[in-house]
Amino acid sequence: MAELTNINKQDGAPELRWRARWLYAILAIAFVGLISRLLFLQVLSGERYTFLSENNRVRIKRVAGTRGMIFDRQGQLLVDSRPSFDLIFVPEDSSDPQNTLRLLGRYLNRDQAELLKTFEEGKSRAAFDEMVLGRDVEWSAVVAVETHQLDLPGVSLRARPRRSYVDGQMAAHVLGYLGEINQRQLTILKEQGYALGDEIGQYGLERRWEELLRGQSGGQQVEVDALGRRMRVLHEVTDVPGYTVHLTLDRQLQAAAYEALKGKEGTIVAIDVSSGAILALASTPAFDPNVFARGIKSEEWSGLMKDKLRPLSNRATQGQYPPGSTFKIIMAIAALEEGAMNPESFIQDPGFFPFGNRQFRDWKKGGHGAVNLHRAIVESCDTYFYQLGAKLGVDRIAKWARAFGLGEKTGIALDDEKNGLIPDTQWKQKRFRQPWFPGETISVAIGQGYVTVTPLQLANMMAAVANGGKLYRPYLVSKVESLDGATVREYGPELIRSIAMKQETLNRVQKALADVVHGPGGTGGAARSPAIQVAGKTGTAQVIEMKSAYLKSEQLSYFNRDHAWFVSYAPVEKPQIAIAVLVEHGGHGGEAAAPMAKKVYEKFIEMQKPVQENKQEARADGANRAN
Amino acid sequence: MQIDRRLISHFDWPLFLLSLAFVAVGVMTIYSANFDLATGHAGSLPARQVTWFGLGLIAMFIAMSFDYHYIDRLAYPFYAMMLVLLVLVMVVGHSGGGSQRWINMGFFRLQPSEPAKLAIVLVMAKYFQSDEPGRGYYLRDLWVPALLVAPLVILTLIQPDLGTAIILGIVFISMILMGGLRIRSFACLVGAGLAFLPIFWRFLKPYQQNRVLTFLDPDRDPLGAGYHVIQSQIAIGSGRIFGKGFLHGTQNRLDFLPAQHTDFIFAVFSEEWGFFGCAVLLLLYFIMIVYCIGLVQRAKDRFGALLVFGMVAIVFWHVLINVAMVAGVMPVVGVPLPMVSYGGSALASMMFAVGVIMNVSMRRYVF
């Protein structure tokens, strides 16, 4: 040890000893600093960073539940969710995405440049996110991709149920359509599990029965790594398909109604008089809900919105028209019940009715001669009803119109149903702050003036006339079933009110209505059919008074024409079905509307024959439920 | 060898046990960082780190086996060897991650910049061991140590290895301060350093410049350069007070963390053991450093005190820079966490350094 140089320094290093004290201070500062930082990160901000780390690793992949099917009353499929395939590409799974797309283009006979363009546009997405190259691709493309799977790394097909409306436009307004959920709906429905991009019923039954049709969407909570690769499934919720909905609608009858209307603007409503079940409800022009199912293009949408013939409007529930002469049924019942007129006494019709300083003209120049109530209905004599109106007064007319459900929503399960309007003195006062002028009653008496109704209301009125005064709530859905066939909900007739009427009143009105079609001089002769006895009333609703409200001058010639009505039921003995037909600007009801009703009745009889017994059973069943 | 028994009785158990603790934490965390949930294996790295620990133990015992005064003679040869190795790295070195840092030695790869850190301490201790002038050292007195350090710094910057270069520089400054540099001279040095900062900036590689800019504003490029810092902070923060548990760190397991088993191992540890674990680990480092400062004060002579100081300065700066970087309060530079990060050269060098401290500690009673 002696050879070592500084062996003699036994007091160590005094300067260093002194300086080392500073080291404690530096050390303390450094470690307090580090600990503070960790406190901040782990204790104070721990929650936020935990959220961020979960956010990092967890992706949610949703699978929408298959939407429920819709069947008609005979069990025929109306709406289905058919399988469709989207073409998916994950570029990260391919070593040479451009080349893969070139190959894909060749296999699918698709424009390669277009595929590459889609690829370039989608580049900003997160890594490993799917890129949709095509939606609802045709079957040949599915086969091609499956066959060449090995040459096409990263390309895959994703099955996805797509709504399919079997008969296209036929029942569009009843069935409705789906659309992507909008921002307003999303804020309201978020808690029910809706998410951006979900489809939701936007119209018709699809909208009103959304809750039951929709099913529960399932999904996976997937853990991904830093590259976005799926590592494992953390949680999984299986999707639950929506319920199957059975309608009261009859597909064949609906088809007949739609066919009858084709090329016209109008609506046909057919109701089962013993229950209020809607058997057919067609409105034209219609739209094809399948267009919405595949994703409507904005120009298609604006086309539908701007169409002057308003294809998106359901004329049966949303169209409000003057009832015209069909209102005479209400007038006749009111007259008989209120004792305002002896039905057997004749009046002389010179072709006009002087009232105040005005002359109200009959539709028939020269008049109908001597008419009693029966003839007045059969020939639709205006003069008779002018007089009757003057005797009844508007309030008693309104009372009976309302008893039959006119001027109020029927409560059918379709959105945005309109009220129509039955005016009275009170209403006039409230609406215009004016007293009712007696002259206005004269217009009301023939279903003009302020009176408006929806075709559905008139169909329901006819059902009540046919069944002896039972006003049912029209309904479309008879049964909701789960996929395994268990009944979830069941709907039957719902009586709104029983209209108390003398049997004599009914007999007289029903007889007159039958003679409108079958009697001499009846205005509804065009509905006469060898197959079935029909009772009904024609109507011609003038639109001139309304023109300023919604018509443009260049269309006046067409839109000026009268609306044609035919409201009816059949068979005359033991009525089963009531039908209201409205043809917009169709002219005379007897000429334009009655033949359409005839077609539907004939279809009704034709399809009823083989299943006569079942029908009767079902009706008895329905009647029981009503009691 | 009559002193052997006395030496054994003075064996520095606290330092030895602390070192074991760090290595144990290291191996455990390396295991977790490489654990694959699917296969249930952690690969070969934990075992390799254990092997390196064995080599480190040998280095440690060699470092304490002889009287540390021999280091006075060994300092320059050791320094020269490091210089040669660093030049060799430039010529035959192995590249990884954009820089050339390793020499392939057949069954392992040596990273000479790690033992080079020790060489600085050895030559500085040798230079400053003689009594300092009463007036203290002026900058002009320091041209010899500066000349000794400069080639090492330049060679590591060329690799490029900014982290090691910074450690070399900062240890050098620590040593000259401890050795007796006048405070005023130090102030001049700092001033000059600040003045040269823009030139230094231009000398940095673009990715290094990026790291500094990213540190100043991590949101500048959250998916690029800022990604590592952000993910590292998320890992640490989401560990919260008690951590997610061993092998349950999701940031780690799902590869959101960069350099999980090397420079960012502290983030892995933090995520799984939380603030509690971090505090314990930092406390262990704190105890070790405080203990060593005590040794600096109690060392038998100036040479021993400087050796201990230099070695513990290496530990201190590594811990400070590494944790601060991982926790997002310093730009990202590649500096390992002593005895915890994966890396054979770093572990063996660090254990050698501890061995030197233990050597001084054991022999402070010996006359």
Q: Which residue has the higher pLDDT, B256 or A373?
A: A373
CB of A500 within 8 A of CB of A571? Answer: no
Lowest pLDDT segment from A96-100, A162-166, A572-576, A582-586: A96-100
CA distances from A10 to B138, B364, B367 (A): 27, 9, 8
Q: With contacts defined as CB-CB under 8 Å, which chain B residues touch A38?
A: 236, 270, 275, 278-279, 282, 327
> Does pTM surpass 0.80?
no
Residue A625: per-residue pLDDT? 42
d(C-alpha A47, C-alpha B281), whole Å = 23
Chain B touched by A553 (CB under 8 Å) = no
CB of A172 within 8 A of CB of A288? Answer: yes
Mean pLDDT of chain A: 86
Q: What is the pLDDT of residues B42-57, one digit of tens each?
A: 889 999 999 999 999 9
Lowest pLDDT segment from A37-46, A606-615, B180-189: A606-615
- Other CB atoms within 10 Å distance of the CB of residue B66: 12
Residue A12: per-residue pLDDT? 65
Which H or E run contains A460? helix A455-467
Q: What is the pLDDT of residues A566-581, one digit of tens each?
A: 999 989 999 999 999 9
DSSP string, B105-136: -SSSEE-THHHHHHHHHHHHHHHH-SPPPTT-
3-state secondary structure of B234: helix
CA distances from B285 to A36, B36, B152, B313 (A): 16, 30, 27, 12
Q: Which domains does chain A have, with CATH numbers?
A: 84-134 (no CATH), 251-626 (3.40.710.10)
Sketch the domain layout of chain B as residue ranges: 9-365
Most confident range (mean pLDDT) of A223-237, B119-133, B158-172, B270-284 is B270-284
Mean pLDDT (whole number) for A162-184? 90
* Nearest by CB: B250 against A15, A41, A57: A57
Q: Which residue has the higher pLDDT, B294 or B98?
A: B294
Measure the CA angle with vertex B282, ends B279 and B285; round to 5°.
150
Taking alpha carbons only, the member of B163, B181, B207 closest to residue B322 is B163
d(C-alpha A426, C-alpha B196), whole Å = 95
CB neighbour class for A81 (10 Å; exposed up to 12, middle 13-18, buried from 19): buried
Q: With contacts defined as CB-CB under 8 Å, which chain A residues touch B289?
A: 27
Count, residues in chain A? 627
3-state secondary structure of A495: strand
CB neighbour class for B40 (10 Å; exposed up to 12, middle 13-18, buried from 19): exposed
* Nearest by CB: A15 against B72, B132, B271: B132
Q: What is the pLDDT of residues B83-96, one digit of tens each?
A: 999 999 888 877 76
Residue A99: per-residue pLDDT? 85
d(C-alpha B116, C-alpha B330), whole Å = 24
Beta bridge partners of B181: B137
Distance from CA of A48 to the nearest CA of B (A): 8
Residue B350: per-residue pLDDT? 96
Is B309's CB within 8 Å of A20's CB? Answer: yes
d(C-alpha A298, C-alpha A180), whole Å = 13
Residue A7 has pLDDT above 60, yes or no: no
Chain B touched by A39 (CB under 8 Å) = yes
Which H or E run contains A272? strand A266-272
d(C-alpha A205, C-alpha A190), whole Å = 21
d(C-alpha B45, C-alpha B51), whole Å = 10
Q: With contacts defined as CB-CB under 8 Å, which chain B residues touch A7?
A: 69, 367
Chain B touched by A27 (CB under 8 Å) = yes
Known catalytic residue: A325?
A: yes
Q: What is the pLDDT of residues A407-453, one digit of tens each?
A: 999 999 898 999 999 999 999 999 999 999 988 999 999 999 999 99
Burial letters for A362-397: b for 16+ Cβ neighbours within 10 Å, e otherwise? bbeeebbeebbbbbbbbbbbbbbbbbbbbebbbebb
Residue A366: per-residue pLDDT? 82
Distance from CA of B78 to the nearest CA of A (A): 19
Q: Quick one: closest CA in A to B36, which residue?
A: A231
Residue B237 has pLDDT above 80, yes or no: yes
Measure the CA angle with vertex B99, ends B93 and B102; round to 5°.
35
Q: Which residue has the tokens 């770093």?
A: B346
Residue B28 has φ and ψ, to the nearest 5°, of: -60, -45
Residue A8 has pLDDT above 80, yes or no: no
Most confident range (mean pLDDT) of A585-599, B96-110, B112-126, B146-160 is B112-126
Chain B touched by A113 (CB under 8 Å) = no
Query: Which residue among A325, A443, A478, A529 is the active-site one?
Result: A325
Q: What is the pLDDT of residues A242-258, one digit of tens each?
A: 999 999 999 999 999 99
A5 pLDDT band, cuts 50/70/90, is very low
Q: What is the pLDDT of residues A52-95, one digit of tens each?
A: 888 878 777 777 778 999 999 999 999 998 888 888 887 777 77
3-state secondary structure of B272: helix
Q: With contacts defined as CB-CB under 8 Å, which chain B residues touch A46?
A: 237-241
Residue A126: per-residue pLDDT? 62
Q: How far is CA A39 from the centre of its chain?
A: 59
Mean pLDDT (whole number) for A381-397? 93
Chain B touched by A13 (CB under 8 Å) = yes
Distance from CA of B90 to the nearest CA of A (A): 34
CB contacts < 8 A (A, B):
157
Q: What is the pLDDT of residues A136-157, one digit of tens each?
A: 888 888 888 888 888 888 788 8
Structure tokens at A347: 């009046």
B131 pLDDT band, cuts 50/70/90, is confident
% of chain A at pLDDT higher than 90: 49
ipTM comes to 0.92
The tally of CA atoms less than 13 A away on the side-chain side of residue A365 is: 0
B253 pLDDT band, cuts 50/70/90, is confident
Distance from CA of B27 to the nearest CA of A (A): 22
Is A38's CB within 8 Å of B234's CB? Answer: no
Q: What is the pLDDT of residues A15-56, one digit of tens each?
A: 888 888 899 999 999 999 999 999 999 999 999 898 888 887
Taking alpha carbons only, the member of B36, B45, B28, B35 closest to residue B273 is B28
Mean pLDDT (whole number) for A314-336? 94
* Nearest by CB: A48 against B237, B271, B303: B237
Mean pLDDT of chain B: 88
Taking alpha carbons only, the member of A5, A480, A486 closest to residue A243 is A480
3-state secondary structure of B104: strand
A549 pLDDT band, cuts 50/70/90, is very low
Q: Which residue has the higher pLDDT, B170 or B141?
A: B170
Residue A555: per-residue pLDDT? 47
* Sign of the Cα pseudo-torsion (B153, B155, B158, B162, in order): negative
Structure tokens at B88: 């060799």
Residue type, B192: A
Q: Quick one: closest CA in B to A58, which residue?
A: B250
Distance from CA of A195 to the nearest CA of B (A): 27
Residue B1: per-residue pLDDT? 42
In terms of DSSP H, where are the helices of chain B?
3-9, 13-34, 45-65, 71-92, 113-128, 143-158, 162-179, 183-203, 206-216, 225-239, 250-253, 265-298, 302-326, 344-362
Interstrand relation of A352-355 and A358-361 (parallel, antiparallel or unpaired): antiparallel
* Sign of the Cα pseudo-torsion (A603, A606, A611, A614, in order): positive
Chain A touched by B205 (CB under 8 Å) = no
3-state secondary structure B156-179: HHHCCCHHHHHHHHHHHHHHHHHH
Taking alpha carbons only, the member of A537, A513, A515, A512 closest to residue A588 is A537
Is A46's CB within 8 Å of B300's CB? Answer: no
Chain A touched by B178 (CB under 8 Å) = yes
3-state secondary structure of A84: strand
A125 pLDDT band, cuts 50/70/90, is low
Query: Which of A29, A50, A53 is the mutation pick for testing B, counting most B CBs within 10 A?
Result: A53
Lowest pLDDT segment from A27-36, A110-119, A499-508, B11-20: A110-119
Structure tokens at A135: 């939606």
Chain A touched by B367 (CB under 8 Å) = yes
DSSP string, A192-232: GT--TT-EEEEEHHHHHTHHHHH-B-EEEEEEE-TT--EEE
